[in-house]
Chains A and B, each alone.
Chain A
Amino acid sequence: MLRDNISKQDEGGGVTTSEILSVAETGGGTGVPLLEVDNLQVEFKTRDGVAKAVNGVSYSVSAGETLAVLGESGSGKSVTAQAIMGILDSPPGRVAGGEVRFHGKDILKMSDEERRKLRGDKMAMIFQDALSSLNPVYSVGDQLGEMFRVHRGMSKKDAKVKAIELMDRVKIPAAKARVGDYPHQFSGGMRQRIMIAMALALEPDLIIADEPTTALDVTVQAQVMDLLAELQREMNMGLILITHDLGVVADVADKIAVMYAGRIVETAPVHEIYKRPSHPYTRGLLDSIPRLDQKGQELYAIKGLPPNLLRIPAGCAFSPRCPKAQDICRTEIPVLHPVTEQDGTELPGRGSACHFWKDQIHG
């Protein structure tokens, strides 16, 4: 897992979603995108065969921008993030193709050491479960300070001062007293703040937050999200927010990419997607959010289970679960079509990988 055996070999065939539409081109960001993921492919070798976890994903994030990546377990959203960070479990995982450009440079072509230096310093990641993501046998101060010691060559003492500063910054009360405490001595919310502090320590350009609030109580969730958003604004960082929770997305994200079975099935600016989803899967997700105005009605559920990545259905991967699937859906993989108004007006930043996207958005 510690070796990033990333293959630079590009798989020529089967590219269907690339070149179609990059979120970046139309996104709310400014200037050159901070990060561009282009046709990324990630595979896992398993006993039973090769699982294609990420199958040609493209998206981009600019400085100060927040991209929400939405999807069920196994949709490939976390794997994409890990591939960007260069922390895939490899073996068995490997990047099978595509490019990841950070500040315009393909980081997949960098040496392991160059990438290591990027990690933590220029791009950082926040994990879902802070309890398991923090090392139980070292104090939080030690783990925070480690960032400064490794990347900035600070002394232990200076690093500790920095750690206390960081803890203050993420609003941990009595930081000075608690700097020597161990992760298990903090509450869930506090731990997640420490994770955030650790990610922000060196003021990176890009933060990837992988379900940062899933493990927390609802009230704490909001606090943590607010904190994250606040700090992001302050430092003008790009943020990739990976989540399965559409509710969280609405408040903080600028744009959304919905993933299913290793592909992006829909992209859109955040507000539009709630109004007019252009993919049946997105619609299903929206319909399954409990809403106060529908109290008493049976909650909608997408039938069936996400596909086994070893045996992704032919054609559109969602077709077996799709209420509107036609024959073409079972044979032909839909590309990510640019979505337009009925009159052909371009809808900036919108795309849909549904053969019948028109019916979806206008029907």
Chain B
Amino acid sequence: MSELVKSPAIGDESPVSATAAAAPEATPKQLTQWAEIRHRFVQNKLAVVGLVIICLLFLTAIFGNMFAPFDPGAQDLENTLASPNGTHWMGTDALGRDMFSRLIAGTRVAMFVGLASIFFAVLIGVALGAIAGYFAGFADTLVMRIADVFLAFPLMIGAVVIILVTGRGITPVIISLAVFSWATVSRLLRSSILSVREMDYVHAAKALGASGWRIVRTHILPNSLTPVLVYATFNVGTTIIGVAALSFLGAGVPVDVPEWGNMLAAGQAFIGVHDYLWLYPSLFVVVTVLGFAFVGDGLRDALDPKLR
């Protein structure tokens, strides 16, 4: 998203000239790698916007209940389906619950489900991907074929089948989404490990007699995780949409949980009549998805400018 203009000041077309390379005198502002990454990230305005969105979402998830005007579960049957007004900024739903307060409460659910399922996907994916990428041979083949099996299930179809057998609930939703996303993580990590493994510093570490596990942990993993990190960030948003879709299919979290997908699924019945019922939840989803996408883009560009 932020293809920075190739500045001639940073690099002309030719590689660093012999003379300049022969003059490795430290400049006073020698940036560390992380500071450099941070610098590149902050340069990207959209990424910063995304970061602000995510921070706000986290703050909302943690402290939202303190500033929500109403109890998100409190029903007011005298005042159902009220259009947005001074008291209920985003209106009330079919049970007279304050939409704004529910959306705030939903932030916590969305963050939790989104992050938790990505977390588990990454956990399984990294563990198996690392094994496959580093040990190669049979372990690699085995892990990759298993990954292929899980990749072959379209996410929604796979998730729905799992929830069919486990029943609705936050945990089944998290598990089913994780079960069908880890394979991508494994693949990404494996191919990135394969290229890192051939890097000189890994050979050097091997030559120095470092143990296999040590090499994986200190040399290979940190350098291979970039695409995984980017993928994970991107996919928090995608996962949140997935949860909403599951709710629409009646396979999401329990109906009384103030979850955006639930609210959307309830609100879609009122399309054309009470549009705010689906519009506001949609906006929360969109903004969240965008926030994570922006940050994912920014991270990708910042971590590895060549990747973009």
Determine if B12 and A75 form an interchain contact, defined as CB atoms under 8 angstroms apart.
yes
Whole-angstrom CA separation of A48 from B12 in the bound complex: 17
B305 vs chain A, min Cβ distance (A): 14
Whole-angstrom CA separation of A245 from B18 in the bound complex: 8
Chain B, 1-54, CB within 8 A of any chain A CB: 4-9, 11-20, 22-23, 25, 27, 43
Determine if A210 and B12 form an interchain contact, defined as CB atoms under 8 angstroms apart.
no
Determine if B14 and A211 form an interchain contact, defined as CB atoms under 8 angstroms apart.
yes
Chain A, 232-269, CB within 8 A of any chain B CB: 242, 244-245
Range of interface residues on A (Cβ < 8 Å): 35 or more
Chain A, 51-98, CB within 8 A of any chain B CB: 51, 53, 71-79, 89, 92
Determine if B22 and A73 form an interchain contact, defined as CB atoms under 8 angstroms apart.
no
Chain A residues with Cβ under 8 A from B16's Cβ?
A: 73
* Contact sample, A vs B, 25 pairs, CB 8 Å cutoff: A44-B8, A48-B7, A51-B8, A53-B8, A72-B20, A73-B13, A73-B17, A74-B8, A74-B12, A76-B12, A78-B12, A92-B5, A285-B19, A288-B18, A288-B19, A299-B22, A302-B19, A302-B20, A302-B23, A304-B25, A305-B23, A305-B27, A309-B7, A309-B8, A309-B9
Determine if B13 and A210 form an interchain contact, defined as CB atoms under 8 angstroms apart.
yes
Say yes or no for A352: interface residue by CB 8 A criterion. Answer: no
Determine if A244 and B9 form an interchain contact, defined as CB atoms under 8 angstroms apart.
no
Determine if B15 and A306 form an interchain contact, defined as CB atoms under 8 angstroms apart.
no
Chain B residues with Cβ under 8 A from A285's Cβ?
A: 19
Say yes or no for A32: interface residue by CB 8 A criterion. Answer: no
Whole-angstrom CA separation of A74 from B20 in the bound complex: 11
A322 vs chain B, min Cβ distance (A): 14
Residues of B with Cβ closer than 8 Å to A? Answer: 4-9, 11-20, 22-23, 25, 27, 43
Whole-angstrom CA separation of A79 from B11 in the bound complex: 12
Whole-angstrom CA separation of A211 from B4 in the bound complex: 25
Determine if B23 and A46 form an interchain contact, defined as CB atoms under 8 angstroms apart.
no
Determine if B8 and A306 form an interchain contact, defined as CB atoms under 8 angstroms apart.
no
Q: Which of A73, A89, A284, A288 contacts B14 (CB 8 A)?
A: A73
Best-buried of A72, A76, A242 by chain B (most CB within 10 Å):
A72
Best-buried of B4, B11, B19, B23 by chain A (most CB within 10 Å):
B19
Chain B residues with Cβ under 8 A from A306's Cβ?
A: 20
Q: Which of B5, B11, B17 contacts A47 (CB 8 A)?
A: B5
Whole-angstrom CA separation of A245 from B11 in the bound complex: 18
Determine if A128 and B13 form an interchain contact, defined as CB atoms under 8 angstroms apart.
yes
Say yes or no for A20: interface residue by CB 8 A criterion. Answer: no
B21 vs chain A, min Cβ distance (A): 9
Chain B residues with Cβ under 8 A from A89's Cβ?
A: 6
With A301-B22, A306-B20 in contact, do A73 and B15 touch (Cβ < 8 Å)?
Answer: yes
With A244-B18, A301-B22 in contact, do A44 and B5 touch (Cβ < 8 Å)?
Answer: yes
Chain B residues with Cβ under 8 A from A302's Cβ?
A: 19-20, 23
**Residue of B whose beta carbon sits closest to that of A245:** B18
B76 vs chain A, min Cβ distance (A): 52
Q: Which of A45, A51, A214, A288 contacts B9 (CB 8 A)?
A: A51
Best-buried of B16, B22, B23, B27 by chain A (most CB within 10 Å):
B23
Chain A residues with Cβ under 8 A from B7's Cβ?
A: 44, 46, 48, 51, 309-310
Whole-angstrom CA separation of A29 from B61 in the bound complex: 76
Whole-angstrom CA separation of A47 from B43 in the bound complex: 9
Whole-angstrom CA separation of A128 from B17 in the bound complex: 13
Determine if B23 and A304 form an interchain contact, defined as CB atoms under 8 angstroms apart.
yes
**Residue of A whose beta carbon sits closest to that of B24:** A301
Determine if A73 and B11 form an interchain contact, defined as CB atoms under 8 angstroms apart.
yes
**Residue of B whose beta carbon sits closest to that of A73:** B12
**Residue of B whose beta carbon sits closest to that of A246:** B18
Whole-angstrom CA separation of A44 from B8 in the bound complex: 8
Say yes or no for A308: interface residue by CB 8 A criterion. Answer: yes
Q: Which 9 A-B pairs have the closest CB atoms?
A: A73-B12, A72-B17, A301-B23, A244-B17, A309-B9, A74-B12, A308-B9, A53-B8, A46-B7
A189 vs chain B, min Cβ distance (A): 18
Say yes or no for A295: interface residue by CB 8 A criterion. Answer: no
Chain A residues with Cβ under 8 A from B19's Cβ?
A: 72, 244, 284-285, 288, 301-302
Whole-angstrom CA separation of A47 from B5 in the bound complex: 7
Whole-angstrom CA separation of A285 from B12 in the bound complex: 18
Determine if B13 and A310 form an interchain contact, defined as CB atoms under 8 angstroms apart.
no
Chain A residues with Cβ under 8 A from B5's Cβ?
A: 44-47, 92
Determine if B22 and A288 form an interchain contact, defined as CB atoms under 8 angstroms apart.
yes
Say yes or no for A275: interface residue by CB 8 A criterion. Answer: no
B168 vs chain A, min Cβ distance (A): 49
Q: Which of A79, A210, A214 contacts B8 (CB 8 A)?
A: A79
Determine if B6 and A79 form an interchain contact, defined as CB atoms under 8 angstroms apart.
no
Say yes or no for A157: interface residue by CB 8 A criterion. Answer: no
B277 vs chain A, min Cβ distance (A): 42
Whole-angstrom CA separation of A305 from B16 in the bound complex: 11
Q: Could you list 12 further interchain pairs (A-B, Cβ under 8 angstroms) beyond the known A78-B12, A244-B19?
A: A53-B8, A74-B9, A74-B12, A75-B12, A92-B6, A210-B13, A285-B19, A302-B19, A302-B20, A304-B25, A306-B20, A309-B9
Whole-angstrom CA separation of A48 from B43 in the bound complex: 10
